[in-house]
Chains A and B, each alone.
Chain A
Amino acid sequence: MKNKIYIILMLGLALSSCNDWLTQQDTTVLSASQAYSSASSISSVCANLYSRLRYEQDFSKDGDSYDMTSWDEASNNSDYWAFSNNKNQDYRSYYDYSLIRDINQHIYCLNNYVGTDVTTVNKKYFLAEARYMRAYVYFTLVTRMGGVPIIEDVSQYVQNPLELAKPRNKESEVYDYIANELDSIKTDLGLASSKLTTRATKGSALALKCRAMLYAGTLAYNSDKSAAKGLILPSGATGIDKNKANEYLQKCLDAYSELQAMNVYSLYQKNSNLASNYALIFQSEINNPEIIFCKSYDGKNMLNAFTTRAICRTLHSALKTGAQINPVLNLANSYEVVATHSIVPIVPYSDVDHIESMGTTTSTYNYIIYDNPIDIFAGRDPRLQGTIITPGANFRGVSLNFQAGLAIKTTTGYTFKTAPAMENISDPVIGYYNGVQITGDEGPHQISTYVSHTGFLLRKYVDTNSGSEASGASTVPYIVFRYGEVLLNASEAAFYLNQNGVSTYNSQSTQTIALNCFNQIRSRAGGSTFNINTSELTFERIMNERKVELAFEDHRYNDLKRWRIANDVWAYDRTNQNAIMYGLWPYRIYAPGDPTDGKWIYRKVIIEHRGSSSDKGQPINFDLKMYYATYPMTKGNPYIEKNPNQ
């Protein structure tokens, strides 16, 4: 009997403490009131949201920056299995509504959970900042997917998920929403510190508005182009009416004028060497008046591996890194001749142009002979040398040895000799021909990886600080908005307005605005002789200027799309010189006793790394389907309409 009592006593005691015993705390979690208790804890939530904004060429994510090698700016030889094939409609399909929901929840918490330690100024700024991020996400969505449902509430977990389903908004409605949001938050964003570049500012809101309105304006402006005709959904989910063009283009100019009036941003002009000055825009956000918004790295906790990937072979830090972004001749050809303002291709032959295969071992073509490798690029837009490392160029004070091989002079022409692989270049037996080194440290080389295979390397964004090539150690920022782009946007908007018969904006001639903005960029790039006159300002000129000024800044793909010409420029066709990628290979002439001995010739080669082993050197392919990426269709939302051609 006694025992029974004790047993009951024991069980009772044990049970009472059990629920305490079984309740554990998650040591990695903050409650909502903790997360919104101070400016720094709120910033922690923001840090997560900023890190999730989608930048196609993000430097911190391994592989993302290789996107630069997908189109007609560069090619990739080291991860070519991932970049050798053409893209399809899934490319840039993006639908991050969980980020939208988290931002909406962030806004909800800012309205409901903010602690008393947070100042009213901070609270106002944080709310505006949250809406800026949301507007940026909607901009990313609309440029890729067309119109998307605009969701501003925090969706709750409900029994019947169907009640949360909403149809797509019109493409124009999304652009309108973005413009309205940015207008209503720009004042509060002005509370931010004036030199801020890494979080939302009034400047970044205006720059986003400027770009978004140009995109919306061009979509309307080009809506009657033949390519655009099949891209219109009757619901308006894709396609913007032609008559909305002027409204959007004017809004683009509104944003530009307001930004200019802030008197905070200007073009970077600090170095007298024009090529170096251009390259320096992309080295640091510190005291850089041109940068409006960027993603920044410290190379320690916030790693930037772009330099590790892109740096020349001579300076690479570790094996199997470096030389992975190889600019193509197609881009180099777009840099104008400064003196004549003419856009002419680089041709290394003295008679007609040729296209050679990389593996050719003999040739009887008439090559132009250069004393120095760099001579072939003489007289071109300085931005060429500021963007691309060409044969004969220096980097970090080191002269780089681009030499595909030896051109051994024969009676009829040349025999070409190259090292079998880059690891053999200093081999006393295989790497030398009669005491002369065959292939240089920077290649180019057909087979080896982690060396250029186009004859070019990238300079833009590659960190000039020694040591920054170590894995992730670069501090170069990823620029999202800079003043130079705003000028080009404004110039283009004004140009279209003028074409549409709107001759003035704010009592200024639209033609003058267009030319003025354009020439600011031109004179910074090539000096005052590089300025153009009214008759030279054509759409072709605008296209080319954006191609070279904004090269590798993730504009090319979007520009060709909104101009509705991507399917022409990148038409999959063996005769399409725009869509087939070329390299330019320097050879040192080997002809002892001959005056040409030690001089240089170039071969224009086809980039065989694009494509497969059975389809080498295939053209880029952009078909009509790709104007709007694949729209995700699920049972969860029956109101969603497919994209055109999907």
Chain B
Amino acid sequence: MNKTQKKIKDMFFRFLFLFVLIQLPVWAFADKFVNTQEIKGKVVDIKGEPLIGVNIIEKGIKTGTITDASGQFTIKVSNSRSILVFSYVGYLKQEIQITTENSLKVVLIENSSDLDEVVVVGYGTKRKGGITAAVTTIGSQDISRTTSTTTAGALVGKVAGITSRQKSGTPGSASTLQIRNMGTPLYVIDGIIQNESFFNSIDINDIDNISVLKDGSAAIYGVKAANGVVLVTTKTGKPNQKPQVNINAYTGWQQWTKYPTLLNAYQWQYANYMKDVNNGTLGVTTDYAKAELAKWQTGLYDPTTGQDYRGYDWKKSYVSDAAPQSYLNASISGGSDKVTYYVSLSHVDQDAVFKDFNYNRTNLQSNVEIRPTDKLKIGIQISGKIDNTSNPGLPGNDDYTLIKTSLFGLQPIYRPYANDNPLYLNYIVASDARNMAAFTKQYAGTYTQTWRTSQNNFNLEYQLPLKGLSAKGTFSYYYADNNMNNNEKGWQEFSYNKTTNAYSLMYDKQASGATYMVRTRDNVQNITGQASLNYDNTFAKDHHVSAVAGFECYQQQLNHLNITQNPVTNPFIDLMSTDKNNTASETSQTYSTASFIFRTSYDYKQKYIIDIAGRYDGSWKFPAANRWGFFPSVSGAWRISEENFYKNATISSWLTNIKLRVSYGQMGDDNIGGLYPDFAYQGGYNYNVGSSYMPTDPTTSSTNGTVIGSALKAIPNTGLTWMTTSIMDFGVDLGLFDNKLTAEFDVFKRERNGIAAIPNDVVFPLESGLTALAQNLNSDSNEGIDGFIKWNDKIGNFKYFVGANATLARQMNGNRYGELFYNALDKYYYSQNNRWANVSNGQVWMWQTIGVFQNQSQIDTYPINEDGKNNTTLVPGDLIFKDVNGDGIINNSDKRPLGYSSVDWPWDSSQGNKNPILSVGFNFGFEWKGIDLSADFAGGFINTFVPDWYMKWGTSRSVSGYVYNSIDVWHHQDIFDPTSPWVPGAFPALRDGDPSYRNENDFYTKTANYLRLRNLLIGYTLPKTWTKKVSIQKARFYFQGTNLFCWDTLGAYGIDPETSTVNGTDYPQSRVLTVGLSLTF
């Protein structure tokens, strides 16, 4: 520990020293600069409306100012021949030579072209027009259009190249975001690498823009950038801007989008009796069952006899239809000519639909930039947050699991309280400890988890005397601290005995030793240091050269401590103390990487552009000999529309801009996976593996004690090294009709080589106790197309936009080392080599359903043996499967791949890629006389949902059940009379065992396609003339709705199409309705 700390300190000082060293000689020459003349003026648009926040700089000199709320500005210039440059997002840049007059009136003209837009790319920024890479940028206005509490949720459907799936809607959980279905991308926040959860918990309103690097341009980020990069830039203040205060608040209500309808008590009894009769296992007489069923139907309740057939609607009682969510954000930004600042504080609070489940988060963002001299820039960015989760301390690791499964697992015939007396929780033995009435903080105790994090970035940038050369240094320190306190209290469940009028204690959680008090403390410390020299200059007017050379180092330290008391000795004191029931565990890890980076680019008149970059990366994961890898990338672009021949052609009158791009980049990935665990290159003994209860010195004592084991580690693997990823991308950027219509299309392919695998031709005898070690053997690829098209225009006061984007990306296995098969059929089933991922031998192999047996004689005469037992187990309503190979029997050989990526099993969400293969988004909006409306549609196509368990089987006596497959089924006319005729239904007849219709088939398995109105925003901005009177620049009321409707192909199942579990008992996404207000002072 001390050694690492010392190392960090050492590194930091070395780094600082280096930085000072390169600055020293140039500080000596730092010239003094004095402003001489003051110019005032006003900037307006063509209608004479003042423009607020227009950037004004003196050409050749970096200092500038910004217009205030009435469009006025004041700037000091160096001499009377100075040129002022006026720039404003969405307007054409204007240069004006100052005159002797001290007052200027400037009219800016709107520009629908975004080619001058500044885009954040690897280690710097570029103008959109000069970009060679596949980069999509999204601005704050588009990002903030969401009620999502996570950044990932805010991006869904808005960016070409991004695919996503929101598997769970529990508060605080995020969509799984991927770039081109390549896997979890790298997140870089204000230049610093961060993890996905940090990215998701940034306050959305603090984000200025997000750039998504989709191709080889991500290579400049090297290690871990193999799945693309998401770059987030937070907001900053502008120079010479008066303080601007923004307040934004909303409050709203959430409810589940979809959940399959559950059976009521009568339906449940009806379906189960029907199933018992079908099975021939009705345990009671038919008359008895009929009488019972009749009572359930009428809901008979007689307190005098204790007869109670009312049943209970658990979902209605324990799942809220209007769980609150609220948000408040206040920010202030502004600046002088020396200092700019942006400070923001926000709080979001979200309840789950379950009682006592809450998530809330407070964010602070403070971005300050100081320019002590014209040459030196010092930036300080502080981002802090407190992330709170609080809920009842239910058994199990994830407290949502039990409550989700209980909702489905509780039979509707039981009631929450014994004798309906709210003092006594009812003992519902058949359903485990699943009485949802106990799932409150009062009974089950409290779980709280608080993550406190702070990210601190310090940047220095210095203009060196050589024109265009500057030195940059960044030091970043991130600290996160987790406090998890869990107190799983004991509760008691009772049964009421009518005859004795007594409540007998049936279950006591404390007495059964199932109470837990847990404390988890984590702390995480990340250190990032970057030092670079940057060069940017234009020669002979047209030759633009830029270059970056730098060094970067990163270290992460993770410490974890857990203390568990089980069972709890004193349930009344919620504090840990010395106790015989305590167990403790601690882990500590340090990871580090270091890289040398260079990038150089050249463009001629922004017509021909070439960009070459490379990294030399080292990672802690590998032994010294295999540690370093070099990964280059190259890209180029040609703007045809800048050529004279093109400009003279008629096509240029409407096709304003064409740029062709091509890129190829390589990067190393040290994330090799389970075959190469941490420190696999070292030998030794793992401590704390297996233990025995025995004496430590058997020659002197026979008294037993716990002896913690030490296990010999596996044979060290020193042969593995970097997995190499390369991305190839061809793209075209188009601008039509004066860039009112813009579009970009890309074709891409990513290849990964050197995926770790165990060579199957190196076979050790089992008796050696050895197995072959993993090597860099396999490959895979990911290919597809993405693009967007967007129309921006204005008709009078009516400003509108319409856009669409789509991403089609699919993973393919590459070479699989040493596949061997007994025969061609085996190979067809099991080969992975050069095949689409998740297709071979997966759940997506199934029988094709070609009909339904209508009656018994059809079954009796059916020539194909469907169940392997000459159709003796079949009944009318069972499915008819296609005998693909025509051998007269339906077996595994008749299964064919009829699906795509398939669902996640809850326990293997890591396997393969389960996001939809095709993701689309549609966005449109308009502004008109203070009214604004925008809508975002997001859709996922080409995916497969494979239901299992009760989604196939229908109800059973041990759980509740769904209406769709328990009621609307094939059944006997008189369900109690197995000789009465069959009546058709939508699903096969309910029965036990494993009838063949439940085997994988395309009757149950459905293609999951959906398109949802992810976001609808309607706002009204009060006229300025009203708000000015109370010193408010802008006041806007808005309504926002999330997931207002969804079209999908899952039909009767009634589950959210993004859900991941196979039995449908997930926490689906929420429909959220909010009303809000934003004010600008």
Contacts and interface: CB of A to CB of B under 8 A. Distances in A.
Contacts of A161: 762-765, 768, 770, 772
Interface in B458-489: 464, 466, 469
Residue among B21, B690, B693 with most chain A CB within 10 A: B693
A615 to B, nearest CB: 11
A35 B710 CA distance: 8
Interface stretch (A187-195, A388-396, A558-566, A622-630): A187-195
Interface residues of B, number: 106
Contacts, number: 310
B592 A21 contact: yes
Contact of A125 (B283, B555, B699): B699
B596 A11 contact: yes
Contacts of B495: 426
Nearest to A19: B624
B935 interface: no
Interface stretch (A71-79, A250-258, A313-321): A313-321
A24 B591 contact: yes
A613 to B, nearest CB: 5
Contacts of B7: 20-21
A298 B627 contact: no
A28 B11 CA distance: 25
Interface residues of A, number: 110
B interface secondary structure, majority: mixed
Interface stretch (A40-48, A335-343, A376-384, A575-583): A40-48
Given A40-B697, A47-B692, A471-B514, A21 B11 contact: yes
Interface string A602-645: 00000000001110000000000000000010111100000000
A82 interface: no
A52 B710 CA distance: 12
B298 interface: no
A313 B369 CA distance: 71
Contacts of B509: 318
Contact of A317 (B11, B513, B713): B513
B18 A13 contact: yes
Nearest to B511: A317
Nearest to A321: B512
B674 interface: no
Nearest to B529: A14
Nearest to A44: B710
A319 B767 contact: no
A17 interface: yes
B911 interface: no
Nearest to B288: A420
B699 A191 contact: yes
Given A14-B551, A23-B620, A95-B766, A198 B690 contact: no
Interface string A308-339: 00000000011110000000000000000000
Contacts of A447: 283
Interface string A515-546: 00000000000000000000000000000000
Interface string B9-25: 01100100010011001
Given A100-B769, A198-B704, A29 B696 contact: no
Contacts of A470: 511-514, 567
Contact of B593 (A22, A95, A199): A22
A44 B690 CA distance: 9
Interface in A1-22: 2-3, 6-7, 9-11, 13-14, 17-22
Interface string A82-109: 0000000000000101111110011000
B575 interface: no
Contacts of A28: 587, 686-688
B284 interface: yes
Contacts of B627: 19, 22
B764 A636 contact: yes
Nearest to B684: A29
Interface in A114-156: 119, 121-122, 125, 129, 148-149, 151, 155
B997 interface: no
A6 B469 CA distance: 14
Interface string B561-586: 00000010000000000001101000
Interface in B478-531: 495, 497-499, 504, 507, 509, 511-514, 531
A42 to B, nearest CB: 9
B826 interface: no
Given A3-B464, A13-B18, A101-B769, A471 B706 contact: no
B767 A125 contact: no
A197 interface: yes
Nearest to A302: B693
Nearest to A193: B702
Contacts of B678: 26
Given A298-B693, A470-B513, A29 B763 contact: no
Interface in A156-195: 157, 161-162, 164-166, 191-195
Interface stretch (B58-66, B106-114, B426-434): B426-434
B590 interface: yes
24 contacts: A14-B553, A22-B627, A28-B688, A44-B708, A45-B711, A47-B710, A48-B711, A100-B767, A100-B769, A101-B768, A102-B711, A102-B712, A151-B769, A191-B699, A193-B698, A194-B702, A300-B583, A302-B693, A318-B509, A318-B512, A420-B284, A423-B428, A435-B499, A471-B513
Interface of A: 2-3, 6-7, 9-11, 13-14, 17-32, 34-35, 39-41, 43-52, 95, 97-102, 105-106, 119, 121-122, 125, 129, 148-149, 151, 155, 157, 161-162, 164-166, 191-200, 295-298, 300-302, 317-320, 359, 420-423, 426, 428-429, 432, 435, 446-447, 467, 469-471, 473, 612-614, 632, 634-637
Interface of B: 3-4, 7, 10-11, 14, 18, 21-22, 25, 279, 283-284, 305-307, 428-430, 432-433, 464, 466, 469, 495, 497-499, 504, 507, 509, 511-514, 531, 533, 549, 551, 553, 555, 567, 580-581, 583, 587-594, 596, 618-620, 624, 627, 678-679, 682-702, 704, 706-713, 715, 762-770, 772-773, 957, 992-993
Return the 5 tightest CB-CB contacts between A and B, nearest first.
Answer: A470-B513, A101-B769, A48-B709, A317-B512, A155-B768
